[in-house]
């Protein structure tokens, strides 16, 4: 939407679009009030990405209504996170939904070709962390990032991580996803010169406190350049990784 607005204004400047036509196209309200939701039509203008639908706690009917409101104003692809199979079946009957059960995410409008020149590397400590990792990977891809995955390389077998040092050091942003004690984020953070986004997961036995132990460990990382998002927040990590790459592109373009 940001690019469309820029092109519209350039059209007014060069005379290919009349002022009246531009005003008509800009008439869209900044949000649509559906009663149960106020759909933000100008988020892409402010943040570079359209509103994402958080599916948990919403009825399938509400998800369809919000998605249609976004699509009607040309916003897309539409990403729906934390979506269960029942909701996916309902939404898929009304809209062309591509559902990814492992990530618990749905996409309407398809995954675009990568727009950013850098690469986001998604790293997990264990196989049990993959659902959160897939949410992060899918989010970054929908927003236009190139994504690579490196799964099950936790500190219980550090040789598995060290076997991929070249791949790790070539990444532009790394998302490290770990439960238990969350040590992998510090290890990766001490090896690379790029931003590292740490995601604690709720994987672990009793004293892991459903991710709190990993969260505190990551917050206390001795490695510099490690930022931390909330427990199981793969979406937040994927969004931040994309924003870092997008900001770098904007700076290069001057």
What are the DSSP E strand ranges found in 27-185? 31-33, 38-40, 53-54, 78-81, 97-100, 105-108, 119-124, 146-150, 173-178
pLDDT tens string 183-232: 999 999 999 999 999 999 999 999 999 999 999 999 999 999 999 999 99
The band of 92, judged by pLDDT with boundaries at 50, 70 and 90, is very high
Domain boundaries, the chain: 29-108, 119-253
Residues 123-149 have a mean pLDDT of 97
Supply the pLDDT for residue 229: 98
pLDDT tens string 94-111: 999 999 999 999 999 989
If you classify domain 119-253 with CATH, what class do you get? alpha beta
pLDDT tops 90 at residue 115: no
Decide if 201 contacts 214 (C-beta within 8 A): yes
pLDDT tops 80 at residue 68: yes
Least confident residue range of 19-28, 64-73, 80-89, 130-139? 19-28
Sequence-ordered list of residues with C-beta below 8 angstroms from that of 186, at least 6 positions apart, any chain: 217, 218, 221, 222, 223, 226
pLDDT tens string 164-185: 999 999 999 999 999 999 999 9
pLDDT tops 60 at residue 120: yes
């Amino acid at each position: 939407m940001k690019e469309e607005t820029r092109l519209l204004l350039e059209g007014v400047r060069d005379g290919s679009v009349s002022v009246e036509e531009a005003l008509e196209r800009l008439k869209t309200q900044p949000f649509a009030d559906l009663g149960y939701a106020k759909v933000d039509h100008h988020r892409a203008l402010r943040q570079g990405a359209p509103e994402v639908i958080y599916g948990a706690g919403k009825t399938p009917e509400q998800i369809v209504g919000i998605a249609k409101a976004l699509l009607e104003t040309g916003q897309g692809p539409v990403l729906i996170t934390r979506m269960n199979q029942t909701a996916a079946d309902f939404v898929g009957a009304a809209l062309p939904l591509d559902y990814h059960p492992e990530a618990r995410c749905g996409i309407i409008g398809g995954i675009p070709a990568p727009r950013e020149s850098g690469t986001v590397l998604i790293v997990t400590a264990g196989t049990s962390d993959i659902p959160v990792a897939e949410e992060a990977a899918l989010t970054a891809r929908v927003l236009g990032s190139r994504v690579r995955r490196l799964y099950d390389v936790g500190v219980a077998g550090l040789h598995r991580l060290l076997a991929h040092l070249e791949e790790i050091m070539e990444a532009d942003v790394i998302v490290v996803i770990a439960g238990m004690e969350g040590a992998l984020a510090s290890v990766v953070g001490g090896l690379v010169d790029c931003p590292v986004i740490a995601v604690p997961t709720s994987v672990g036995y009793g004293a892991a406190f459903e991710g709190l132990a990993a969260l505190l460990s990551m917050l206390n990382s001795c490695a510099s350049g490690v930022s931390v998002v909330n427990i199981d927040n793969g979406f937040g990590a994927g969004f931040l990784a994309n924003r870092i790459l997008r900001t770098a592109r904007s700076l290069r373009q001057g």
